[in-house]
Amino acid sequence: MIKLYEHPLSGNAYKAKLLLHQLSVKYEGITVDIFAGEHKKEEFSVLNPNCKIPVLLDGDFVMWESNAILFYLAKKFSPNPYISDDPKIYGSIAQWAFFGKTTIDPNLALARYFVKFLPQDQVPAGAVEKLHVQGNAALAILDNHFFQTEFLCENYSIADIACYPYIMLCGEGGFDLEQYPSVRRWCASVEGTENFVAFTC
Ligand SMILES: N[C@@H](CCC(=O)N[C@@H](CS)C(=O)NCC(=O)O)C(=O)O
């Protein structure tokens, strides 16, 4: 059985969990207590030398990096509606998944970490404000995109799963989604997809 090393507060682990649910794949979830430093122990670094969750174990095959895990699962359990063999649709899915990893998560997820988890005297001066400027620029791009289309690509896909968690959680990092009505409408569309499972913590 597939194993997913995760934590209930991790948006990156939630991506894998959401896709596994939507694919109706049974898996074993293993909580790694990142707040107690379990991910830095040797037994975990053997799985992921970068010492981060999520990690997916499929037999003796190990995968880390949340968006790569989405591509792996979508390919392994194809055909399914969440990925496409069409080169243009596949390319667009990859484009938005990379945009998520390079432009959404580094700003929205890091702002959440600084605001919600890190002791405030350890947050570098001006860091949250800078993340808000960069993150709001990303949200404006998405709001414009969702004004024209329901999902990131032609249909709901792993691109939406890759981008959804830290957008849905961005209020915890001090962002205000009220400014982005099309992004909020997209969140509702994602939450209305088949077998959707909510982020709970
Ligand atoms: N690029 C990685 C980022 C993973 C990541 O930052 N995971 C966080 C939890 S959401 C973590 O393990 N943090 C512990 C740490 O960095 O010490 C991915 O997408 O999987």
Reported as a single tens digit per residue, the pLDDT across 69-92 is 999 999 999 999 999 999 999 999
DSSP string spanning 99-120?
HIIIIIHHHHHHHHIIIIIS-G
CA of 147 to the centre of ligand 1 (A): 31
At 90, list the tokens.
Answer: 């596949």
Atom of ligand 1 nearest to the CA of 9: 10
What is the C-alpha separation between 89 and 85, in angstroms, rounded? 8
Please list, in sequence order, all residues whose beta carbon lies within 8 angstroms of the beta carbon of residue 161, skipping any fewer than 6 positions away. Answer: 15, 18, 19, 22, 70, 82, 190
At 12, list the tokens.
Answer: 């990156």
Average pLDDT over residues 114-123: 96
Whether 12 is in the pocket of ligand 1, judged by its Cβ within 6 Å, is yes
Fold for the domain defined by 87-191: Glutathione S-transferase Yfyf (Class Pi); Chain A, domain 2 (1.20.1050)
Q: Tens of pLDDT along 133-169?
A: 999 999 999 999 999 999 999 999 999 999 999 999 9
Residue 88: strand, helix, or coil: helix
CA of 12 to the centre of ligand 1 (A): 7
Start-to-end CA span in the chain (Å): 25
Average pLDDT over residues 49-53: 98
pTM tops 0.95, yes or no: yes
pLDDT at 201 over 80: no
Amino acid type, 185: R
CATH of domain 2-76: 3.40.30.10
% residues pLDDT > 90 (the chain): 99
Alpha helical stretches, state H, the chain: 11-22, 42-45, 66-76, 87-99, 105-112, 127-148, 158-168, 181-191
Atom of ligand 1 nearest to the CA of 10: 10
Whether 52 is in the pocket of ligand 1, judged by its Cβ within 6 Å, is yes
Domain ranges, ordered by start, for the chain: 2-76, 87-191
